[in-house]
A and B are shown apart, each in its own frame.
Chain A
Amino acid sequence: MKSLLWMLIALLRFLYQSIHLALAQIWANKTRSFLTMLGIIIGVASVTAVIAALSGLKAKILTQVETFGTNMIWISPRQPERGPMRHANFWELRFKLQHFEGLMDHCPSIARFGKQSSGGRQTVSHRDQSAEGVRVNGSEQACHEIEGRTFMLGRPFSVMDEMQARQVCIIDSKLRDTLRLDRDCINQKILIGHNPFIIVGVFDPKPHSPFGEGDSEDHEISIPFRTNLKLRHEPWIWSIAESASSEASEDALAELRFFFRRTRGIKPGEPDTFKVESLKNALDTFDKISAMVTTVASGIVGISLLVGGVGIMNIMLVSVSERTREIGLRKAVGARRSAILTQFLIESVVLCTLGGLLGIGLAQLLTMGIAKIPNAQLDMSYIPWWAMTIACVFSAVVGVFFGMFPAIKAARLDPIEALRHE
């Protein structure tokens, strides 16, 4: 036991000395070492930065999940990849009101469900103030609940608003500011297009969704679903739903799919002409895409590391050749082959790992840079610890792999020949 401990201490001392020696050697040839490491540095930095960006994007999406909850489900038309509807345009694929009839009865895993329809982009005005291109949506009351909208003022739509298709609206707080309405603007009248509407509520601007259309500069106005139907003959309809629990999410998707296939009259064997998508689904899709991007990036980096590794090998061969006499001397004073091999391997590993660390440093700078790109959704980019670990381990592996040949060459040198070397 005690001797084992001594051996461990001896090994640690040996490692310490070898690394110290390797660092001294690298420091003695600063420029050369740096240029050699450049391949590794750039390779590691680029892949780490890509991973950082993806991680940031995912973190961003996860915050959305926290806002919406994983139970939320989007239902919208989609062009199938095959079948008779392959070339149909979106208007042919649109949802009609009858497609939704009896949904709550047939889908027991759905807790809430609401239809939305597009009222287009319209000019909204109040006295002499107006805002153009305001997104108008006809929404059933449930939609606001599912989306978890918070009301700053007023109330959501009531059943009566919906039933009677009243001309009432809920605006977001940014629109209120743009139209210079009073802070408490409830019951004030505004014009949407040419139709007068009464404001019943003000909600917070919609959180910026990475999948949803529109950007944060958009104004938003919500009117009852039926009011929109009354004003526009046949608007574009979609819907959102919420499953009873996240465990029921899969069931809910299956039930919705079954229900819509029937109501939309899709024959067995034909593909869906719509999609039902949960945030969880979308997250899975994102994971797949990000895995793909990571794989591609890793491939590119693999090549870059290969090139870097060849550079390392080259410089190590030069080093072995330059230090032939040193190797001869070390052998003369008792260094075994394994000791020489280890010395040069450690040197190449230290060189590569140093390159890897510098690469991570560079990646950190890059990450800080991309986080500042406006509207790129990358403000939460960060380098995950596993990426740093992998970068270091990978660099070290490159060091072992490409340092092996020069190290073997050094270890095999004949001490007499080596000492005679000029």
Chain B
Amino acid sequence: MPISPNSPTSSTGRTRVVIQLRDVTRVYQVGTEQIRALDGVTLALHENEYIAIMGQSGSGKSTLMNLIGCLDRATSGSYHLDGKNTTEMADAALAQVRNERIGFVFQSFELLSQLNAIRNVELPLIYAKDGWRSRRKRAIESLEHVGLGKRVKHKPNQLSGGEKQRVAIARALVCKPSILLADEPTGNLDTRTSAGIMKLFDTLYAEGQTIIMVTHEENIAAHARRVIRMRDGRVISDLPIEQDATSQHLSSESDRGTES
């Protein structure tokens, strides 16, 4: 299996590099034991890529996700986001980076139940530098963008699961982030609703949005254009979707071969 994390296997080598990870490790100290959640990850992700990060639990995909989302810092190595080194940034600066450049979508939506859809979407703008400028208008536009233009005044408990996730996506997009970072975005949704959300992702990608999603579902990952597979804190494969499918097919065949 070809393992070359930084090889130009990425779908579009021409475009600007948004994320550049160089030999990133993340070590957790649990009691006296050290756990290397990430062990020398080097990655380059480009503008308007659609990437799925896959792996079993404990593979380090969540840690990688937190790191890319600037919620966490690398123990060693460097992480450049839009050309800026985030490794040395102070907490406040990281918060600003999260606010301006990253839009989070979570498995369990994370909407604030006491606020209606508009107010939920407005949330990142509260913390943005000039977020008060036409805040409401921007929130409504964002909601219209995800197809919820008619349910802006509803509170989360008046919305279906799919609608909640759309509100969350609208919230993630309201600051026009460089990356949309989705962690198991369909994990709490049924198949039909999931399809709707994935269709929305496809549309956003088509409009030029860079999307990174973490998932363990193959059919969800199939929407991406590039698949990064992880195991034990390392990237074990990083291929365009077409090649990834073939290699998966092969590896599962070979697995079966060894089993028999």
CB atoms of A335 and B72 under 8 A apart: no
| A389-422 vs B, Cβ < 8 Å mask (1 yes, 0 no) | 0000000000000000000000000011001000
Q: Is A295 an interface residue (CB 8 A)?
A: no
Q: How many A-B residue pairs have CB under 8 A?
A: 61
CB atoms of B72 and A333 under 8 A apart: no
Residues of the B chain whose Cβ atoms lie less than 8 Å from the Cβ of A419: 106, 110
Q: Is B201 an interface residue (CB 8 A)?
A: no
Q: Is B219 an interface residue (CB 8 A)?
A: no
Residues of the B chain whose Cβ atoms lie less than 8 Å from the Cβ of A25: 114
Residue of B nearest to A331 (CB): B95
Residues of the A chain whose Cβ atoms lie less than 8 Å from the Cβ of B104: 332-333
Do A334 and B127 contact each other (CB < 8 Å), given the known contacts A28-B114, A326-B112? Answer: yes
CB atoms of A329 and B110 under 8 A apart: yes
Query: 8 Å CB contacts to B: which residues of A1-41?
Result: 9-10, 13-14, 17, 24-25, 28
Residue of B nearest to A325 (CB): B110
Do A334 and B100 contact each other (CB < 8 Å), given the known contacts A13-B132, A416-B66, A416-B72? Answer: yes
Residues of the B chain whose Cβ atoms lie less than 8 Å from the Cβ of A103: none
CB atoms of B95 and A334 under 8 A apart: yes
CB atoms of A339 and B114 under 8 A apart: no
Instruction: State in angstroms the CA–CA spacing of A333 and B94 once bound together.
Output: 11
Q: Is A288 an interface residue (CB 8 A)?
A: no
Residues of the A chain whose Cβ atoms lie less than 8 Å from the Cβ of B71: 331-332, 415-416
Say how far B36's CB is from chain A's closest CB, in angstroms: 17
| B231-244 vs A, Cβ < 8 Å mask (1 yes, 0 no) | 00000000000000
With most chain A CB atoms within 10 A of its CB, the pick from B72, B96, B110 is B110
Instruction: State in angstroms the CA–CA spacing of A184 and B134 once bound together.
Output: 84
| B214-246 vs A, Cβ < 8 Å mask (1 yes, 0 no) | 000000000000000000000000000000000
Q: Is A337 an interface residue (CB 8 A)?
A: yes
| A335-370 vs B, Cβ < 8 Å mask (1 yes, 0 no) | 111110000000000000000000000000000000
CB atoms of B132 and A334 under 8 A apart: no
| B71-115 vs A, Cβ < 8 Å mask (1 yes, 0 no) | 110000000000000000001100110111000101000101010
**Chain A: interface residue total (CB-CB under 8 A):** 25
Residues of the A chain whose Cβ atoms lie less than 8 Å from the Cβ of B127: 330, 333-336, 339
Residues of the A chain whose Cβ atoms lie less than 8 Å from the Cβ of B69: 332
Instruction: State in angstroms the CA–CA spacing of A165 and B92 once bound together.
Output: 95
CB atoms of B112 and A329 under 8 A apart: yes
CB atoms of B98 and A333 under 8 A apart: yes
Residues of the B chain whose Cβ atoms lie less than 8 Å from the Cβ of A24: 114
Do A336 and B95 contact each other (CB < 8 Å), given the known contacts A17-B126, A330-B123, A415-B71? Answer: yes
Q: Is B61 an interface residue (CB 8 A)?
A: no
Say how far A323's CB is from chain B's closest CB, in angstroms: 9
Instruction: State in angstroms the CA–CA spacing of A192 and B145 once bound together.
Output: 102
Residues of the B chain whose Cβ atoms lie less than 8 Å from the Cβ of A332: 69, 71, 98, 104, 110
Say how far B46's CB is from chain A's closest CB, in angstroms: 24
Residues of the A chain whose Cβ atoms lie less than 8 Å from the Cβ of B110: 325, 328-329, 332, 419
Q: Which of A10, A326, A333, A337 is the one whose CB lies under 8 Å from B99?
A: A333
With most chain A CB atoms within 10 A of its CB, the pick from B66, B92, B96, B127 is B127
Residues of the A chain whose Cβ atoms lie less than 8 Å from the Cβ of B72: 416
Residues of the A chain whose Cβ atoms lie less than 8 Å from the Cβ of B100: 334
Residues of the B chain whose Cβ atoms lie less than 8 Å from the Cβ of A334: 95-96, 98-100, 124, 127-128, 175
Say how far B214's CB is from chain A's closest CB, in angstroms: 13
| A113-126 vs B, Cβ < 8 Å mask (1 yes, 0 no) | 00000000000000
Q: Is B171 an interface residue (CB 8 A)?
A: yes
Residue of B nearest to A326 (CB): B112
Instruction: State in angstroms the CA–CA spacing of A301 and B95 once bound together.
Output: 42
Say how far B170's CB is from chain A's closest CB, in angstroms: 12
Instruction: State in angstroms the CA–CA spacing of A232 and B92 once bound together.
Output: 92
Residues of the B chain whose Cβ atoms lie less than 8 Å from the Cβ of A14: 126
Residues of the A chain whose Cβ atoms lie less than 8 Å from the Cβ of B171: 333
Residues of the A chain whose Cβ atoms lie less than 8 Å from the Cβ of B91: 336-337
Say how far B155's CB is from chain A's closest CB, in angstroms: 12
Do A333 and B123 contact each other (CB < 8 Å), given the known contacts A28-B114, A416-B72? Answer: yes
Say how far B229's CB is from chain A's closest CB, in angstroms: 23
Instruction: State in angstroms the CA–CA spacing of A9 and B130 once bound together.
Output: 12
Instruction: State in angstroms the CA–CA spacing of A326 and B111 once bound together.
Output: 8
Residues of the B chain whose Cβ atoms lie less than 8 Å from the Cβ of A337: 91-92, 95
| B111-153 vs A, Cβ < 8 Å mask (1 yes, 0 no) | 0101000000001101110001000000000000000000000
Say how far B126's CB is from chain A's closest CB, in angstroms: 7
Instruction: State in angstroms the CA–CA spacing of A339 and B110 once bound together.
Output: 19
Residue of B nearest to A415 (CB): B71
Instruction: State in angstroms the CA–CA spacing of A14 and B129 once bound together.
Output: 12
Q: List 23 A-B contacts (CB under 8 A).
A: A17-B126, A325-B110, A329-B106, A329-B110, A329-B112, A332-B69, A332-B104, A333-B124, A333-B171, A334-B98, A334-B100, A334-B124, A334-B128, A335-B126, A335-B127, A336-B91, A336-B92, A336-B127, A337-B92, A339-B127, A416-B71, A416-B72, A419-B110
3 smallest CB-CB distances across A and B, nearest first, come from A334-B99, A334-B127, A333-B124
Residues of B within 8 A of A (CB): 66, 69, 71-72, 91-92, 95-96, 98-100, 104, 106, 110, 112, 114, 123-124, 126-128, 132, 171, 175
Residues of A within 8 A of B (CB): 9-10, 13-14, 17, 24-25, 28, 325-326, 328-339, 415-416, 419
In addition to A325-B110, A332-B71, 15 A-B residue pairs with Cβ atoms within 8 Å of each other are A28-B114, A326-B112, A332-B110, A333-B98, A334-B128, A335-B95, A336-B91, A337-B92, A337-B95, A339-B126, A339-B127, A415-B71, A416-B66, A416-B71, A416-B72
